[in-house]
């Protein structure tokens, strides 16, 4: 029975990742249609930049709780912004800090936006921002690769799941901490990196079975 519950929970997690990828990708596309390519928005890695980006995205998102930039932690991913990685270590990053703009969508997903610097976001091919999502809000485990995942937003308005082309079996792979698990969950449609990471290859074996 526990294995059936786990399988059901993981299926729900994957479904939520895919759903929110579609929601955020569409919001970026629509905002870009209104305001030009993302890298031309004059993004700066501060509260002004976060407010600018989020104000452009808001018309295309169903936000039920808006926590803004470091104003409150109620709707930040994790446990009031705090979270762990897959090694069990508590991370020093805090989604409720002034580095992030956080809000909650109408399906309960908590989202935090983090911007890159103006020097980094210089072209259509540049990575300009990260979207972090917590698929079950404040509920545990509040852990990378289990209920916390992220996407990269590029200067051309395209959204990319973190970890594409990376294998869980790679030495030093970020999935060991959970940073690069989003693409695996989305495209391989499992969280088997939690069970047998040494056996999994992006272009090879994709399940523990």
Q: What is the pLDDT of residues 83-134, one digit of tens each?
A: 999 999 999 999 999 999 999 999 999 999 999 999 999 999 999 999 999 9
Question: Higher pLDDT residue, 170 or 195?
Answer: 195
Range in 5-14, 16-25, 28-37, 173-182 the model is least confident about: 173-182
What value does the mean pLDDT take over residues 131-146? Answer: 96
Instruction: Indicate the pairing of strand 127-134 with strand 159-161.
Output: unpaired
1 pLDDT above the threshold of 60: no
pTM: 0.96
Taking Cα atoms as reference points, which of 30, 91, 31, 103 lies closest to residue 64?
A: 103
DSSP 105-129: ETTS-EEEEEEPPTTT--STTSEEE
Query: What pLDDT shows up at residue 144?
Result: 96
Give the residue extent of every domain in the chain.
2-162
User: Cα dihedral angle (53, 92, 14, 164), rounded to 10 degrees?
Assistant: 80
Query: What pLDDT shows up at residue 71?
Result: 76
Give the mean pLDDT of the chain. 94
């Amino acid at each position: 029975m526990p294995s059936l519950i786990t399988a059901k929970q993981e299926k729900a997690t994957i479904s939520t990742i895919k759903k929110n990828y579609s929601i955020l990708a569409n919001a970026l596309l629509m905002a870009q249609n209104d305001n030009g390519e993302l890298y031309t928005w004059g993004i700066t890695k501060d509260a002004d930049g976060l407010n600018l980006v989020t104000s452009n995205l808001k018309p295309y998102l169903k936000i039920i709780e808006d926590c803004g930039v470091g104003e409150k932690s109620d709707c930040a991913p994790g446990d009031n912004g705090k979270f762990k990685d897959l090694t069990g270590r508590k991370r020093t990053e805090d989604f409720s800090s002034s580095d992030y703009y956080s809000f909650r969508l109408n399906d309960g997903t908590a989202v935090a936006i983090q911007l890159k610097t103006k020097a980094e976001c210089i072209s259509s091919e540049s990575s300009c921002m990260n979207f972090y999502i917590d698929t079950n809000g404040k509920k545990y485990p509040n852990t990378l690769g289990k209920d916390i995942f992220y996407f990269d937003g590029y200067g051309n308005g395209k959204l990319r799941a973190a970890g594409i082309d990376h294998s869980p079996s790679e030495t030093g792979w970020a999935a060991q901490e959970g940073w690069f698990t989003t693409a695996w969950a989305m495209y391989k449609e499992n969280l088997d990196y939690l069970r047998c990471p040494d056996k999994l290859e992006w272009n090879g074996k994709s399940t523990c079975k």
